[in-house]
Amino acid sequence: DAMVIQNPRYQVTQFGKPVTLSCSQTLNHNVMYWYQQKSSQAPKLLFHYYDKDFNNEADTPDNFQSRRPNTSFCFLDIRSPGLGDAAMYLCATSSRQGVMDTQYFGPGTRLTVL
């Protein structure tokens, strides 16, 4: 089945220790997104890639970076995680075909910062 995969599902890191979260997709979609979702809140868009074009949200901290080495993979790098970065990180994809397409989400990675 075509899908969006996130690894790991649970990640524990230490305050200030860089961490990378991974997302892959078999949908061959052009667009990949990263969202941050804190407890009992709605998902918040951090950035997205349209093919190789990176689009950062204005209020995304510099501490968050992303890489998309190919169509299938996208990574979220948190350079120096703080306690406030503990959250669920959701990856999503969509296939932009001239109209707003549905975003399909992966299962998420729950990040704990000690």
Partner 1 sequence: AQKVTQAQTEISVVEKEDVTLDCVYETRDTTYYLFWYKQPPSGELVFLIRRNSFDEQNEISGRYSWNFQKSTSSFNFTITASQVVDSAVYFCALSEAQVNDMRFGAGTRLTVKP
- Which residues form the interface with partner 1 (CB under 8 A)? 31, 40-43, 45, 48, 50, 55, 88, 90, 92, 94, 96, 99-100, 102-108, 110
C-beta of 40: minimal distance to partner 1 in Å? 8
Backbone angles phi, psi at 84, to 5 degrees: -75, -10
Q: Which region holds residue 108: left if phi is over 0, alpha if psi is between -120 and 50, else beta? A: left
Cα–Cα distance, 84 to 96 (Å, whole number): 33
C-beta of 110: minimal distance to partner 1 in Å? 7
Q: Which is nearer to partner 1, 52 or 96 (CB)?
A: 96
CB atoms within 10 A of CB 74: 26
Q: Which is nearer to partner 1, 16 or 53 (CB)?
A: 53
